[in-house]
Every structure is written in C-alpha cells, then in structure tokens.
A and B are shown apart, each in its own frame.
Chain A
Amino acid sequence: MTEVAPANGDDEHAFVTLMLADQLCGVPVLCVRDVLADQTIARIPLAPPEVAGNLNLRGRIVTAIDLRERLRLDKRPAGAPAMSIVTEQGSELYALLVDQVSEVLTLRRSKMEANPPTLPAIWAENSVGIYRLEQGLMVVLSVDRLLQLDLAAAA
C-alpha cells in the first residue's frame, strides 16, 4: 500500500483528517476505500480488545479496529457514534473506528516534521510524522502499522 502518495505534483499529498479523543490525525487518502457513518458492529468474542467486531459492508465482512483501543486512548463514551475509515490490506477489508472524519487536506511533503522524540511509544510506533496546521498538530498515522496487531500479546 502506498503510505504517502502524491496528489498534486511530486510534493503534495492528500490526507483524510480525523479526530481521536480530541487529537487531530491524518491518514493518506489513497489508503482510504470508504468512509462510513455509525455502523452496526457485531462484536467478536475472545478477540483482542482492539478488534471492535465485524461489520457488513455491501456483503463483505469487514473487521473493525477501534483506534482508541489501538492507541491506548480512553474508551469512547457510551452512545457516542463512531465513524469508520475502510482500508484494504492483503485483500482483507478493515474498518478503522474513529470519533469523527473531518476533511481532505492537501499538504506539502516537505512540511512534514519528524516525530518529537518524547512522543509516547504507542504513538511513535504508529505515526510517520507531524504537520503543524492552523487548527493544531496533525499526527500522520501509518495504516500498515496500525493493522499490525501484536498477536502474541492478544492471544
């Protein structure tokens, strides 16, 4: 999967921005197959905590990963709707549950800054860099890394 792909010329990249517990994050737009509103998610017993369950996307079964759980954030308040970003990895579909999907931004690659060394490990593992935007700092998430659940720990 192309993590960061040019949108407009070599230096410009498009990101889908999203909110996770008041933190602005972004994922490369080319990783995103679908954006879904709140869905019925069937939970899977015995699954790792990050796996929120399964959802039915037009006849295909999509495994939902709760990014709040994945990034060890506080649980989403009960009843609060979640939106999903659907992404594909190795012909399997995954839905990344986030609080809110906001907009698509086109940003210059050269403006991306490296993670500050003090970033908590769980964020550092899943982030490829930071953008300073007017509305705040945007953490660029790596979808590939987000989907690498530590199976040994989960089992």
Chain B
Amino acid sequence: MDDLIAEFLTETNESLAAADLALVKLERTPDDAATLSLIFRLVHTIKGTCGFLGLPRLERVAHAAENVLGKLRDGELVATSAVISPVLAALDRIKLIVSGLGATGAEPPGDDSACIAALERAADGDTSVSPPDPEAAAEPEHADAPPADAPVAVAEAVASQTIRVNVEVLEELMTLVGELVLTRNQLLQISRAEGTSAFTAPLQRLSHITSDLQEGVMKTRMQPIGNAWNKLPRLVRDLAHETGKKIQLDMLGQDTELDRQVLELMRDPLTHMVRNSADHGLETPDVRRATGKPETGNITLNAFHEGGHIIIEIADDGYGLNVVKIREKVLSKGLATDAELAAMSEAEVKNFIFRAGFSTAASVTAISGRGVGMDVVRSNIERIGGTVELVSTLGQGTTFTIKIPLTLAIVSALIVRACGERFAIPQINVLELVRVGREGATANGMAIERIGSTPVLRLREQLLPLVTLGDLLRLERTDREPVSATVVVTAVGSGTLGIVVDDVYDTEEIVVKPVAPILRHVTMFSGNTILGDGSVIMILDPNGVARSAGVSASRIKRDLNEHPLSTARSDDGTSLLLFRGGASEAPCAVPLSLVARLEDIERTKIERSGGGFVTQYRGKLMPLIAMGDAAPVTPENESTQPVLVFSDGNRSMGLMVDTIVDVVHDRLNIQLASSRPGFLGTAVVAGQAAEVLDTSYWLTQAWRDWFGGGQSAQNRCKRLLVVEDSDFFRQLLVPALSAEGFEVTAAGSAAEALRLRDAGLMIDVIVSDIEMPDMDGLAFARCVREGGGAWASLPMIALTGRASPADEARGREAGFTDYCYKFEREMLMQSLKHCLSEQVLM
C-alpha cells in the first residue's frame, strides 16, 4: 500500500474516533463552540487530505458533512439531533469507506448520494425527513458489510503499526540511554583494568545491547527532513505570487532522516534561506527572458547523507551574488575599510552576507531585506555544530551547502591529552592523526617546523597550520615535555587545521552535555562529558579552536596541492610565503607553491665557489643566491641561514633570505609595478604591503639557462598577451614567459583583453585561459576572430586544465590555433615556437 494512504488511514481513524466522541458531546451541549470547531477541523482535515490523495468518494461525503458543520459553527443551524444524526451517519460512511480503503488500497465502489442528500437537507435547515434518510442510505451499504468486515481488521492492523508517542517520553528515553552508555563505558573501563574475569563475557553482551538500544532509540527520534520542508511549496507559491516571479521548487532527498532536535533547529534557517532565494536570488520573468534564461526560476533543495553528516543544498539559478554590490554595501555600512576589502578574495567578500546588519536588496520588501537573516541562519547552524558555505556565480545563481551532524546527543570522540589534561575532540572533525617530533626532533621523519613564530607541519607536500592545544588553552605544563607529539588533523570549515596534543588515548562514545551558562563565552568548547572513569572533561569545538587561534576557517585552504587546478580556478587567492630579505623594508611575498622547500642551512656548510655561494644539498651542489647586496655569509649572530629552495626537475637553487615571517592565504593582486630587478611589484598581502618576488629573475641568477636559456634570443621582441583570470596563474605565466624573451602583457579577463585590442595594443600571439567568468576563452576567441582588426589572424593558444579531444575540437572551432595544458611549460613553449614560426612562414 502507498505510504501516504497508510499514514492517512492511521490519522483518519484517530480523527474519526475523536469526531465521534465530540459529536455526541455536542448533541448534549449544543452551544459548545470549542467542540464544534474541533469537529469542523477534523472533518475539514479529512476532506482536505482526501482531495489531495485523490479519493473522490470520501471527499464528497466529507465535504457535505463539512457544510453542515460550517453552518453549525456560524450559528446558522442549531445542533439538534436532527442535524447531528446525518453528520454521524456521514462519519459512519466515511469509516466504512476508509476500512475498504485499508483493505484494498482503493475506495470501494458505492453510492453515497442518499447520505449526501440528507446532509444537504440538514444544511438547508430542512430537518423534517432527514432522520430516516441516513439509515436508508446506510442500508445498501450495510448489505455490502460482510465483505467489508475482514478489511476492517486489516485496517486496524494498519492503524496499530504506528503509535504516537509523546516527544517528552522519547527525550527521556534518550537521556536514559545516554546515562546507560556512560555506565557501560565505566564498566568496560573497570573490566579492562581487571583483565579477564567471569564478568567479561556478559559485559560484552551488555555492551552490544546498549549499542543496539542506543541505535534503536536514536531511530525513534529520526524524522525525514521533508517534515521541515512541507510548508515550503506553499511559501514559495505565495512569494512567487507576491513578487510576480515564476518559481519552480524542486525538493530532492525528502526521505533523508535526521534527529528531531536537529530538524527543529534547522526548520527556521531553511525557511529563511528558501525565502531569501525566492525573494533576492531569482529574477523576475522579464529579466530572466532578457538574459536568455527560461522564465521560470528554479530553487532546488537537496538533502543527503555524507559521512555521518547531513548535507542540505539550497540552490537557485538566479542573479548570483554581485561582488561589486556587496563591496559597496560593506563600505556604506562600515563593516570593513577599502583597504581591508582590497585584500579580500571574492569568496571572502561574498561571505559578508552572513554578517549581522547586511542585506544586498536595495529596498526592504515585505519578505526580506531587513538585514536580519543570514547572520542568524549561520549562527543557528553553527550552534548545532554545522557549517554553511556558499558558491555563487554572477548570472548563474547561488548554492548554499549546509553540513550538519545527524544527532547532537551522543557522539564518538577522540580523547586526547595536553599538559596532563584530557579533552574530547568529536570524531567527525578528525581527518587523521600524525605522530611528530617536537620541534627539532623528528619521529617517523615528521617534525613541526616554524615559519616565524607560526608552527606548521609539512604533510604530503602541504603546509598544515598548527595550533598547540596547551598554549591555546593557556595550560601550565606540569609534566615533563614529551619527546613526541600528535597532530590531530581536523576539518575546520572548508579547510584543515592541525591541533598539537601530547598524546591520544582512545575513541569513546560520549554524551554531550551543554556547558554551564556561565561558561558559554568560552567558544572553544562545545560541551562537556563524563568519561568511563567518572572524570569530567571538556569537548573541544575545532571551529572554535580555529577562531580562537585567529585562523579564519575560510582562510585555510584544504588540499592545496592535491587540487592545484581548483585552487587556481577559484578566486580564493593563494598561499603566500612572507619573508624579509634584501634591502627592502617591506616584507617580500612569493606564492608558496613555487617554493619547493624551506631550509635552515648551517652557515659553516655554505661555501664560496666561483663568484657565488654554494652548499651541498641532497648530495648535489646547490647554488645559493643572496638577496640584496649584503654579504650573505655573516655567521656572527646566527648559525643557520634561512633559504627558500626552488626546484625544477633535478635542479635546485637556494635563495638566502633574512627571516621567514609567515604563511598567509590571500589574493595576489599586484598593484604597483616594480622597477627593481627581482621583484614583480607591490601587492597588499594580509593587510600590509609586500614586494612580490619575481622568481624567474632569481632562478636565472642561479642558472642562466633555467628556462631553457638559448631560445630567449629568438623570441626577443615577440609580443605576447596572456588572458587569465586567476592571479595565481598570471603570476606564474608572466615571469616564465618573460624569461623566454617575450614581451608580455597580461589581462585579467576577456573583456580587459578586448579593451586592450580596442586601445590599439599590438601583439604577436595570444595565450588565453578557457574557463573564465563572464566571457570564457571560447567566446573570447570567437570575438577576436570575428572582430576583425589587427588581432583577427593572430595565433591563439588555449590554456586549460581539461584538454580532451572534444574540448580541443571545440577550442579549434572557436578559433584557437593550439591547445595546451596549464602546467606543461614545455608544451606551451613548443606550441608558441610552432605558432610563431608558422606565422613567419605565412
């Protein structure tokens, strides 16, 4: 049987029983308005549901009964038995049909006209002949009764498959199970200490049963997320009506279950976000038509499980967030200064919509735009240990992704020790554990290093920011400093953070208890719990830890090197290494990904060779280049020399710097070009001016032929335009191409490149990215080819991360001469050489 029908049957059977009682009561006390409206509501609900489920026979009967009840309620009729009887008869009829429905899943055939006629007569106030009629009407139906008898039993069976339980009972059960889990943990701990005893086996069994019971009780609290969504279609419909938009709401994964408590807390944020999408996110049909979109805007809700979490996506295909508008708004509201904004990536700017007092809608509408909302949404989600992220493309829409835990009550946690104190870290935040040596010492070849005063760990070619738990919590070290430590790599927002602890014990199922109100301001803890041994420990909130450590989660990029493409494609900026060196007062910056290694080389190991310095590095001689004029070997005060190592193939060079300051995540946006050799220019990095290193300059200082040398001459004076939206790649390409002898002009977008063309820039070859916002590389190529002028016949090389034959074909069709991978410098050089020589031949 259809689930909906089964649910309807359960509910209707309950309603009917209640309506029966109430009607009888009404007959005795005809003036009882409360009872009357209760009956009216019950019958109305039955009617409404029937209409929805497509049960015409029930609907007709219920509708006629509702009419009578409506008149009773409005005082047009008096509740005499002459009026009540047909209603009771109608209820009987409904019961009969419902039982038939329960048996077969479909309405039994039958004629209700007499019953309905009696109700209509009652509604008209004509009570003279009504009493006998219901009976007469029921008669033929009763003739059908025998076959209907068996179905009644089935219907009851259906009804008894679910029972309604007061939520408080379930909450109480959950608390008790929580206590049981704690007691079980305590017993297990004792048992482990005692070794094998007669209790071991029964205890194991108790443990299993407890786990099963916990799971079972959790299940009773689970509700499909659709329950929190059921009001949304109506909401969206009304909004569409009010705003004159056409909106299609799609809901996927409605059956995804999550804890009732979580569901309740998610209801309001979800409603708000959908309302926002409908009001701000989507355009009116005219605007949509004008921009070539279908008139009907889509809002899609999608819920699914992912690794102990529920993911809810709310996507619209509307305007998308306008970064320019947000910037203006931020400035006008005084939420940030111009300089701060300039240093922010687009993603960071977009995140301003989560700040209090922010609304991008120019006018306050009845629906939203009051500037209270997204900040509340975010804090509500974070309160239940969830996160919310947004991805938005101008003109294509916005997608919010909410990640929330399945349940709040019992979580699996890792018990760690720092400075003799124990803490719990929720397992869902833990990605991996890495054993490392304390600074200086190494364990399994892993060691904590420091950049300036910031500890970092090199984990699979990735620099992981670290916080030391003991320091962060200002714990005093009472025990001896251990020789090794463990880094708990945690997922924080969309990034990772390493938490350094002394030791890791075990995982334990813990019951999360909220911290006392007087401790709520300590945001590093999400709660506290009692361990198996009876001790009370605090539960760490890694997001809170990251915030307290001053590491904004959005600034930590996960898997920088595992997905270099996506990093470069995103406008999140890049990780930059800040250091001091040369004569420059400002710090210098270089994209971290260009640096192979950071080394401290003992000064005694630095040798003079020829006119320069070398050191033995990994069994080879590595040239060391000093920044600035100062003599690099000044072993007076410090015994080691910090060196940035750049590698390519089997060649390395070291750049001797004064100090390494920090690693920051920022957009590399060079604002002032530099006239000094060795620097590209000045950029604002983490709020201060920094000189950006021209790596190619320093590389060629060490190895004159670093970039394939020799060829430079033949490329001399070839003018090249790079069109690339990613700052990172522009900074990577420009020096490399300059070193090849090209005269390089860079454009950050296709539009900018076209402006350069219109301004009369003369060039010999164009290298363009394919995936760019607004106008992509393909459109750009077509524009160049069709636009005529000096550029129309220039060779164009496409740079892309995806170069499947199909992509290549599309590229060539659009007008590209050649197609190259972004990371294949050799390939690009070959291609350039090829294109340019061909052009010479032409």
> Taking beta carbons and an 8 Å cutoff, which residues of A are in contact with B?
40, 42-48, 51, 53-56, 59, 61, 63, 90, 92, 94, 147, 149, 151, 154-155
Contact = CB atoms under 8 A, between A and B. Distances in A.
A51 B529 CA distance: 17
A16 to B, nearest CB: 22
B474 A56 contact: no
A130 B537 CA distance: 39
A154 B521 contact: yes
A114 to B, nearest CB: 29
Given A40-B535, A43-B421, 15 more contacts: A42-B537, A44-B522, A45-B522, A46-B474, A47-B519, A53-B536, A59-B182, A59-B530, A61-B530, A61-B536, A63-B516, A92-B516, A92-B517, A94-B516, A149-B518
B432 to A, nearest CB: 25
A42 B519 contact: no
B536 A46 contact: no
Closest A-B pairs by Cβ, 6 of them: A45-B473, A54-B536, A63-B516, A42-B536, A155-B521, A46-B522
Interface in B75-124: none
A51 B519 CA distance: 9
A143 B204 CA distance: 45
B536 A56 contact: yes
B517 A90 contact: yes
Nearest to B473: A45
6 contacts: A40-B535, A45-B421, A48-B518, A53-B536, A63-B516, A147-B518
A61 B538 CA distance: 11
Given A54-B528, A59-B179, A59-B182, A44 B518 contact: no
Nearest to B521: A155
Contacts of B709: none
Contact of A46 (B182, B518, B524): B524
A144 to B, nearest CB: 13
Contacts of A155: 521
Contacts of B421: 42-43, 45
A63 B473 contact: no
A47 B179 CA distance: 26
Residue picked from B521, B536, B538, most chain A C-beta under 10 Å = B536
A47 B534 contact: no
A46 B528 contact: no
A147 B516 CA distance: 11
Given A42-B535, A56-B530, A61-B513, A51 B473 contact: no
B530 A63 contact: no
A151 B518 contact: yes
Contacts of B529: 61
A63 B519 CA distance: 9
A44 B534 contact: no
A147 B518 CA distance: 9
A155 B473 CA distance: 14
A2 to B, nearest CB: 21
Interface residues of B, number: 23
Interface of B: 179, 182, 421, 473-475, 513, 516-519, 521-522, 524-525, 528-530, 534-538
Contacts of A54: 528, 536, 538
Given A63-B518, A92-B516, A55 B536 contact: yes
Give the one of B518, B524, B530 with max A CB within 10 A: B518
Contacts of B536: 42, 53-56, 61
Contacts of B475: 45
Given A42-B536, A42-B537, A56-B534, A51 B518 contact: yes
Contacts of B474: 45-46
A69 to B, nearest CB: 13
Contacts of B524: 45-46
A108 to B, nearest CB: 34
A151 B473 contact: no
B368 to A, nearest CB: 33
Contacts of A149: 518
A48 B519 CA distance: 8
A54 B424 CA distance: 15
Contacts of B517: 90, 92
A106 to B, nearest CB: 32
B513 A44 contact: no
Contacts of B522: 44-47
A61 B528 contact: yes
Nearest to B548: A46
Contacts of A61: 513, 516, 528-530, 536
A40 B537 CA distance: 12
A40 B422 CA distance: 14
B510 to A, nearest CB: 12
Nearest to A147: B518
Given A59-B182, A59-B530, A61-B528, A44 B519 contact: yes
A123 B290 CA distance: 73
Contacts of B519: 44, 47, 51, 63
A79 to B, nearest CB: 15
Contacts of A92: 516-517
Contacts of B518: 48, 51, 63, 147, 149, 151
A59 B513 CA distance: 11
A147 B519 CA distance: 12
A101 B473 CA distance: 33
A61 B518 CA distance: 14
A152 to B, nearest CB: 9
A115 to B, nearest CB: 25
Nearest to B182: A59
B535 A46 contact: no
Nearest to A90: B517
Nearest to B531: A56
Contacts of B535: 40, 42, 56
A96 to B, nearest CB: 13
Nearest to A94: B516
Contacts of B521: 151, 154-155
B534 to A, nearest CB: 5
B175 to A, nearest CB: 10
Contacts of A43: 421
Contacts of A154: 521
A43 B418 CA distance: 13
A60 to B, nearest CB: 8
Contacts of B525: 44
Given A56-B530, A59-B530, A154-B521, A45 B516 contact: no
Contacts of A90: 517
Which of B421, B516, B522, B528 has most chain A Cβ within 10 Å? Answer: B516
Nearest to B519: A47
Contacts of B513: 61
Nearest to B524: A46
A54 B537 CA distance: 8
Nearest to A45: B473
Nearest to B423: A45
Contacts of A55: 536
Contacts of A47: 519, 522
Contacts of A40: 535
Contacts of B538: 42, 44-45, 54
Nearest to A65: B518
A149 B513 CA distance: 21
A62 B537 CA distance: 12
Contacts of A59: 179, 182, 530
A70 to B, nearest CB: 11
A147 to B, nearest CB: 7
A144 B516 CA distance: 15
A149 B537 CA distance: 22
Nearest to B511: A59
A63 to B, nearest CB: 4
A42 B529 CA distance: 11
B639 to A, nearest CB: 37
A72 to B, nearest CB: 17
Nearest to A150: B518
A146 to B, nearest CB: 11
Contacts of A56: 530, 534-536
